[in-house]
Amino acid sequence: MRLFTAIDLPGEVLDALEALLERLKPTARLKWSPRENLHITTKFIGEWPEQRRAELETALRSLGRLDPIPITLRGVGFFPNPHAPRVFWVGVEAGPGLAELARRTDAALSRLGVPPESRPFSPHLTLARIKEPVPLGPLRQAIARLESLEFGHFQADRFHLYLSELRPAGSVYTRLSEFRFTA
């Protein structure tokens, strides 16, 4: 099983992002994320044996109490940089709890053999993947014409374990478990 942990977005934030996607999609031939795949990844786990799923969930339940995390989605950008982009993203601004959640998740899962993160946690929301060079001028012009680069805010009080299945039409994500911060 290919797994990751993530924070889901509330409906009004998804609505704002869907409106953004509808506006930007016609400007560039990218691999755009469908609404149902929009989330904030807190840890990519990768391949994990199905028979050890309960062990993984126990580790995720043991992260300890966290306060709700204020999250604002603001701004857009490209990874690794605007000159050779591979990912088009929306920025995630959050209280220190989000980085703490990522740190605790990484520590708990590394004890089970999941490789720890080698790069600093950089929260973002992937809007599209860029597989091959495409003209991005029209996309950049459309971004410049946006009235606002604010896409909503909310309080996160839980995260989820997801299964990621790679299919020819794109990845399909299935929520497997929910973990509340106050549990």
Which of 39, 83, 153, 160 is the catalytic position? Answer: 39
Task: Give catalytic status of residue 83 as yes or no.
Answer: no
List, in order, residues 6 or more apart from 91 with CB less than 8 Å away.
73, 74, 75, 76, 77, 124, 125
Residue 160 annotated in active site: no
Burial classification of residue 63, based on how many CB atoms lie within 10 Å of its CB (0-12 exposed, 13-18 middle, 19 or more buried)? buried
Are the C-beta atoms of residues 63 and 105 closer than 8 Å to each other?
A: yes
The residues annotated as belonging to the active site are 39, 124
